[in-house]
Amino acid sequence: MSTQGYEEELRSERGYVAGLYARLDAERARVKRRYGLALGDDGGTPMERDVEVRALAREISRLNVADEGLCFGRLDSVSDERRYIGRIGLFDEDDDYEPVLLDWRAPAARAFYTATAATPENMRRRRQFHARGRRILGFSDEVLGRPGEGDQGDAALLAAVNAPRGEGMRDIVATIQAEQDEIIRLDHPGVLVIEGGPGTGKTVVALHRVAYLLYTRRERMERHGVLVVGPNPAFLGHIGRVLPSLGESDVVFMTPGDLVPGIHTTEEDDPEAARIKGSLGILDVLAAAVADRQRLPEQPVPVELADVTVRIGADIVGWARDEARASGQPHNEARAVFTEILTWALTERAIGKIGKGWLTRADREAWEDLRGDLLKELAADAKFVAVLDELWPVLTPESLLGSLYTSRERLRAAGAEEALWRAEGEAWTVSDVPLLDELADLLGGDRPDQTADREREAETAYAAGVLKLIETDRQDLMDDEDHLLAQDLLYAEDLAERFGQADTRDLVERASADRNWTYRHVVVDEAQELSEMDWRVLMRRCPGRSFTVVGDLAQRRSAAGASSWGSMLERYVPGRWQYRGLSVNYRTPAEIMAVAAALLAEFAPGVRPPESVRANGIRPWARRVTEDELPAAIGEFEREEASREGISVVIGPPETPGTVPASETKGLEFDAVLVVEPERILAEGPRGAADLYVALTRATQRLGVLHRAPLPAPLRALSGEGALAMAHRRSG
């Protein structure tokens, strides 16, 4: 294309995109007017107004995200049909709602990501726009259907991966690659495992998959939302803008330490304690710990009533305990059975003593009147209540687990290992969270109010009937089989709550505060770190078993984590999980990946490192320093990077001043990384090797290493030392 032709085409494209923004602004103004009217509308039922207001609020959010990069490309077919591709879809209301902009998730837009020179999919050209704000700065064209011209998207992709990092992960909606697009659009209702080495884009692919599922299955998914589980708060902050930038806001972000409402922890156990707590064997310990609190009296306990003294002995307590356990109810709810049996036995004995010689069972009315009086006395007797609390106490997960950890006697009684003992029982760690969640089921509620429960069930049944009337596509929702009924009930319960008192919280707030909330889909990142007990929690949160699981077994650092995907998943979804691998490293330059690959070959020799899509010509460097020189060397790195565009980080052993532990950088990326004392990181064994591998693969441009002891063997290929290394660094 000549310069003049390019300029003419650019003016034309700018005019078209300006027209799209005009449509966007008009549509947004129209929806905002409707939203304002809906808020003040007194007509219809409260439920109808609530449904309309929430739908309009979601539409406003969808339109707001499109301001930046509304249209990022165009496809020209061999028949000269033009398709403009963007963040959302827009339609011409005056032309039978013909699309003027295709949503990137629409089937007709797929060729934008999958067409290649060798397989053009009836496309002649792909055009990608370069924009700033609403203005098109330029475009680049790729002619398809000519073998040898290269794969799609290289120019846009390389521009994206070479660009300086900003705050937070960016979406890849304009540069999705073919192998990524296949995973994003995979129609699999069960568990999808996406595995890839550092820089392969597995996290951002999983997030785009969520956006795609919400687009294609919105009716099924949006009422319950999506849960995204990441390794730490920094990671969640990093990825938090991706889904909102794609128009999706009904997403709850949590770490494994947040999965029980009211508990927020990032503290880790030592490897041995983490291994014990993460194994399913801990279930027997928890059950035994609960049973240990259902006690028999060592000696009969006398209780003095007005006319008689009765003794609470091991015989009747044992009977009451057996009956309560046989009820199958959780501990706190079974207390009612225990109390009923115990008080019945005590009143029988008391009546026998009081009525001896004058009262027989034939005089049933007098017998029951006397029993009623005795029951009132027992309920008011402080000693009896204290004994009841001692023999079958009301427990919370926190009180039970905390007291277990601080008592070696209770640990032995529960069959637990000594490694679980600690001085501060309720100093919660991430490994404690699934145990607290398990105990919530084992213990149940404190004292359930049966009348309130029955009223609640009636309200829920009525709400469920209302939901049936407004169901628009019942058959589509039946894909979830029997899981649908339980989840519809939860939604009905939510609706029933509104009949009594309006809940103004949005979905994210309600879901985050409710342990019993269930999600339609769950994304688990860094999933190789999750234990068997962690997976039990997540499976409770998603009865439909719809997951996108993201990880890299080579990066596993947790002693309780996954050694294989099947070992974690087959128990819950036998035959219902699929595996997809990503093999191309879009983040890490080849020069840096070569260093990381040498380490990988030593601690995980069977794992093949991902292949970097680019080299940047900047060699990693290493420099040996003394303990006194280390702070100044770190400061020099920070000053040099502060003068450059982008972001940097210093990664070092835990508790080293001026550094960030590698575990806190998982899933993050930086323009420049300085790794401090790799020999100390590696000394932590398998966990240390995984941490060092993570540290070495965070950089998109520049990597430096400062070490006091000799470099570990896998890192000795780093370029020179001292002045030579400094020269390489400054030339970069």
Q: Residue 542: what residue type?
A: C
663-686: average pLDDT: 91
Closest CA to 523 of 64, 209, 293: 209
Average the pLDDT over each of 127-131, 314-318, 409-413, 673-677 and give the range with the smallest value: 127-131
Kind and range of the H or E run holding 687: helix 686-696
Residue 300: what pLDDT?
93
Q: Is residue 277 very low, low, confident or very high in pLDDT (cuts 50, 70, 90)?
A: very high
Residue 412: what pLDDT?
97
- State yes or no: pLDDT of 156 exceeds 60: no
- State yes or no: pLDDT of 541 exceeds 70: yes
SS3 category, 349:
helix
Q: What is the pTM of this model?
A: 0.78
Give the E-state strand segments of 490-641 in sequence order. 521-524, 547-551, 577-582, 584-585, 611-612, 621-624
Q: Hey, what domains does the chain have and what are their CATH numbers?
A: 3-163 (no CATH), 191-261+516-582 (3.40.50.300), 271-443 (no CATH), 447-474+486-514 (no CATH), 590-728 (3.40.50.300)
Average the pLDDT over each of 158-162, 504-508, 694-698 and give the range with the smallest value: 158-162
- State yes or no: pLDDT of 516 exceeds 70: yes
Note the helical H segments in 558-646: 565-569, 590-603, 630-642
117 vs 307: which has the higher pLDDT: 307
127 vs 721: which has the higher pLDDT: 127
- State yes or no: pLDDT of 704 exceeds 50: yes
Per cent of the chain over pLDDT 90 is: 52
Please state, in angstroms and as integers, the Cα–Cα distance from residue 253 to each residue in 143, 216, 510, 732, following that order: 41, 21, 13, 37
Closest CA to 61 of 94, 23, 87, 41: 87
Residue 162: what pLDDT?
61
544-550: average pLDDT: 95
Residue 317: what pLDDT?
96
Q: Residue 188: what residue type?
A: H
pLDDT digits (tens, 9 = 90+) for 338-367: 999 999 899 888 887 776 656 665 666 777
Q: Are 691 and 699 in contact (CB under 8 A)?
A: no
pLDDT digits (tens, 9 = 90+) for 384-439: 999 999 999 999 999 999 999 999 999 999 999 999 999 999 999 999 999 999 99
Q: Are 369 and 354 in contact (CB under 8 A)?
A: no
Q: Which two tokens stand for residue 203?
A: 């996290």
| Close Cβ partners of 13 (under 8 Å, ≥ 6 residues apart) | 74, 129, 136, 139
Q: Are 250 and 507 in contact (CB under 8 A)?
A: yes
Q: Which two tokens stand for residue 234?
A: 């920094």
Please state, in angstroms and as integers, the Cα–Cα distance from residue 618 to each residue in 539, 718, 732, following that order: 45, 12, 5
Q: Which two tokens stand for residue 567?
A: 């070992």
Residue 164: what pLDDT?
64
Q: Is residue 158 very low, low, confident or very high in pLDDT (cuts 50, 70, 90)?
A: low
| Nearest-angstrom CA–CA distance, 112 and 102 | 11
Average the pLDDT over each of 146-160, 293-307, 334-348, 501-515 and give the range with the smallest value: 146-160
Residue 172: what pLDDT?
64
Pairing relationship of beta strands 547-551 and 521-524 according to DSSP bridges:
parallel
Residue 290: what pLDDT?
98
pLDDT digits (tens, 9 = 90+) for 474-515: 343 334 433 333 344 445 455 455 444 556 678 889 999 999
Q: Is residue 100 very low, low, confident or very high in pLDDT (cuts 50, 70, 90)?
A: very high
Kind and range of the H or E run holding 384: helix 382-391
Residue 503: what pLDDT?
62
| Nearest-angstrom CA–CA distance, 3 and 7 | 6
Residue 681: what pLDDT?
95
| Nearest-angstrom CA–CA distance, 29 and 591 | 51
pLDDT digits (tens, 9 = 90+) for 165-181: 555 666 667 677 888 88
| Nearest-angstrom CA–CA distance, 226 and 118 | 38
CA dihedral sign of residues 226, 228, 234, 235 = negative
| Nearest-angstrom CA–CA distance, 182 and 156 | 19
Average the pLDDT over each of 237-241, 433-437, 579-583 and give the range with the smallest value: 237-241
Residue 306: what pLDDT?
78
Based on DSSP, count helices (H) and strands (E) in the chain, helices before strands. Answer: 29, 20
Q: Are 537 and 564 in contact (CB under 8 A)?
A: no
Q: Please provide the average confidence, as pLDDT, over all residues in the chain.
A: 84
